[in-house]
Amino acid sequence: MDLVIGTELNERVIYQATKNIFNVVTRHGFDAVSREVLKLLSDKVYESTPIARQRFPDLFEPSTAQNTARTQLEAETTRTEQAALKGIEKTHSDDNQDIRDLQAATTAVHVYLPFPTEHLLMEKLQKVLETACYEYGVRELSSIVQHRDWDCPESVELNQWAELLGHEGNLKRQGTGKALNELLRSIAQIRHTAVHRLRTNSRGLEQFLADAEDLARILGDNIYTQVISQMRLDAQSTLRELAQNKQFIQLQLEEAQEEIAKQRAELDQKEQENLRRMEREDKRYRAMAGQRLQQALNLVGNFAIAPESENMALSGMGRDDVYPVSDDDSNLDHAEQFEDCSES
């Protein structure tokens, strides 16, 4: 059933949204259907695509064409993000699995938080790190902190801490992972991203959060490590859901495009058929019109020949049909004249 958004509620909208339910209600009864719908509503199946996908995975299985398109999109996205992340692309061993989990969900699409939320996250992360670094400085680098009159976390920017810890921090880390100087460059980049309000996609945010948690752990502050870890978990959950929803929308778009392409091909075929039919009809009508005109022209030619034949006939009659006066008639006239004379 399609969700109708931004449409005035009326009978037509209700009908469109519920027309497919009628057969189900007829088959199973209103009470049974109502119970199932209420159960789905209470489980938020209608509200969350990931929940619906988990509950009914077969309804969300992509077609072969969609899988091919997704593979191409994944390859292109991976190349683009690898070029964009540059120096902050590597991950440390303690967080590799978490990063791979998020990347597996988001690698097919570019996912961005709403910028106000992203900026707030980066500001919070910067502030927590600056506080953790300040407390470490008070404990381990007190002479430098006092000499520079750093009397509160707000008095030192995060990039300054990254530089100081790289030279004077004597930081030690356990396990394998990215080099310390590379980690500190990533920490300085957090401040740069927050201050200059740079848009960062899901992989960049996850990398920043992982590096921040790693630094807090190196500084030996469990409280701030837990705070950053919770921030990271919350961000991961949101980013994963965004990625899954966007991927689902992308699949729907591909499906719609396939249908549009099919309809376009059918329309093109109909157009060609119509053009061919019009061409045949035009040819037939031209032949008929030409035939009628030819018949009319033939009649005009016959009328021109007929008067000429009649004139020739009349001329012949003037020459051959004039007969001479008979001698008998002449003698009769003379006899009548003599009779008239005798009587007188």
- Is the pLDDT at 338 greater than 60? The verdict is no
- Is the pLDDT at 205 greater than 70? The verdict is yes
Q: Domain boundary at 217, 235, 253, which?
A: 235
**Average confidence (pLDDT) over 136-161:** 93
Examine residue 26 and state whether it is found in any structural domain, yes or no.
yes
Give the pLDDT confidence of 319-328 residue by residue, as tens digits: 555 445 455 5
Residues sharing a CB contact under 8 Å with residue 49, sequence separation 6 or more, in sequence order: 244, 245, 248
**207, 89 in Cβ contact below 8 A?**
yes
pLDDT of residue 315: 56
- Give the mean pLDDT of the chain: 77
**Average confidence (pLDDT) over 290-308:** 77
Task: Verify that 130 and 198 share a domain, yes or no.
Answer: yes
- Is the pLDDT at 166 greater than 50? The verdict is yes
Lowest mean pLDDT among 141-145, 174-178, 277-281, 295-299: 174-178
- The pTM of this model reads 0.51
Share of the chain above pLDDT 90, in %: 44
Task: Verify that 38 and 122 share a domain, yes or no.
Answer: no
Q: Domain boundary at 204, 235, 266, which?
A: 235
Task: Verify that 43 and 119 share a domain, yes or no.
Answer: no
Between 3 and 16, name the one with better pLDDT.
Answer: 16
Question: How many CB atoms neighbour CB 24 within 10 A?
Answer: 14
Examine residue 50 and state whether it is found in any structural domain, yes or no.
yes
Share of the chain above pLDDT 70, in %: 66
Task: Verify that 122 and 199 share a domain, yes or no.
Answer: yes
Task: Verify that 31 and 119 share a domain, yes or no.
Answer: no
Between 110 and 165, name the one with better pLDDT.
Answer: 165
Confidence class for position 36, pLDDT limits 50, 70, 90 = confident
Cα-Cα-Cα-Cα dihedral sign, residues 99, 104, 107, 113: negative
Q: Domain boundary at 43, 60, 77, which?
A: 60
Per-residue exposure over 255-291, b if at least 16 CB sit within 10 Å of its own CB, e if not = eeeeeeeeeeeeeeeeeeeeeeeeeeeeeeeeeeeee
- Cα–Cα distance list, 3 to 18, 219, 237 (Å): 10, 50, 25
Task: Verify that 131 and 196 share a domain, yes or no.
Answer: yes
Confidence class for position 4, pLDDT limits 50, 70, 90 = very low
Examine residue 72 and state whether it is found in any structural domain, yes or no.
no
Examine residue 34 and state whether it is found in any structural domain, yes or no.
yes
Give the residue among 127, 105, 265 at the shortest CA–CA distance from 191.
127
Task: Verify that 196 and 128 share a domain, yes or no.
Answer: yes
Give the pLDDT confidence of 52-91 residue by residue, as tens digits: 777 777 676 555 545 555 555 455 545 544 544 444 444 4
Task: Verify that 128 and 200 share a domain, yes or no.
Answer: yes
- Is the pLDDT at 13 greater than 90? The verdict is no
Give the pLDDT confidence of 99-108 residue by residue, as tens digits: 555 555 445 5
pLDDT of residue 298: 87
Examine residue 293 and state whether it is found in any structural domain, yes or no.
no
Q: How many domains, the chain?
A: 2
Examine residue 103 and state whether it is found in any structural domain, yes or no.
no
**Average confidence (pLDDT) over 144-149:** 93
Task: Verify that 146 and 51 share a domain, yes or no.
Answer: no
State the residue range of the domain holding 12.
8-60
